[in-house]
Amino acid sequence: MWARSGARRTRYNQNCARCHGLEAVSGGLAPDLRYLEANLDGDEWYIERYRHGYTVNGVTKMPGYDELLGQKAAWAIRTYVETRPDDGALDDFLDQLATIRDGLKNIAEKLVAGTTAYADISAKVDTYKTVLREVANQVSTASGAPAADSAASRAYTALDASAEGVAKATEFLTVGLSVAQ
């Protein structure tokens, strides 16, 4: 799932970010798309602008993307922007996420050392997954969409009791924490 969300993110960042801001956080050149409501009115307005762009007095302020990128890309990008976390949405959870990240580093060391019983590692990973899930469910979006695609949700999806799963989850948390601070 995170691989797919990565592709949506790339699409957005390659085509829309230079005006609407990296990661959909607008720098003021064009509207902040995270705030476009996640409902039918929002969808309608989104697709209208996406198709036709925006022109004033013959000057193109935004190109139309129907022919350039097509419908499938339109909805992939829409999903990306509407699931961006709201500003500060992770703030209340940073300590919890940092604790889990440090715990995962510890688990990675144990996996390498090979001296800890797998059942113990697996139980610890399950505990972290439960907390990540709870946090992920509480991270709000600005669009009103119920689920944010956050560092917590990505780490939750990636995490399992393998060296690879632990490494990926650690990376998502590290990136999320560095962006938030």
Tell me whether residue 36 or residue 169 sits nearer to ligand HEC (CB atom).
36
To ligand HEC, the closest distance from the beta carbon of 16 in angstroms equals 3
Identified binder of ligand HEC from the candidate list 25, 31, 144, 171, rule CB under 6 A: 31
CA distance 157 to 97: 15
**In whole angstroms, what is the distance from residue 110 CA to residue 117 CA?**
9
Q: Which is nearer to ligand HEC, 8 or 20 (CB)?
A: 20
Alpha carbon distance 27, 21 (integer Å)? 6
Site for ligand HEC in 69-128 (CB under 6 A): 77
Burial class (CB in 10 A: 0-12, 13-18, 19+), 75: middle
Tell me: does residue 15 bind ligand HEC (CB under 6 A): yes
Nearer to ligand HEC by C-beta: 2 or 75? 75
Radius of gyration (Cα) for the chain, nearest Å?
19
Per CB under 6 A, the list member of 5, 19, 26, 131 interacting with ligand HEC is: 19
Q: Is 65 in the site for ligand HEC (CB under 6 A)?
A: yes
From 16, 76, 151, 158, residue interacting with ligand HEC (rule: CB under 6 A): 16
CB 159 within 8 A of CB 129: yes
CB of 40 to ligand HEC, least distance (A): 14
What is the rounded CA–CA span in Å between residue 27 and residue 20? 7
Stretch that binds ligand HEC, among 1-9, 14-22, 155-163, 167-175 (CB under 6 A): 14-22
Residue with smaller CB distance to ligand HEC, 13 or 96: 13
Phi, psi of 101 (to 5 degrees): -60, -45
Buried b (16+ CB within 10 A) or exposed e, 14-45: ebbbeebbeebebeeeeebbbbbebeeebbee
Report the interface residues with ligand HEC, using CB under 6 A.
Answer: 15-16, 18-20, 30-31, 33, 36, 46, 49-50, 54, 61-62, 65, 77
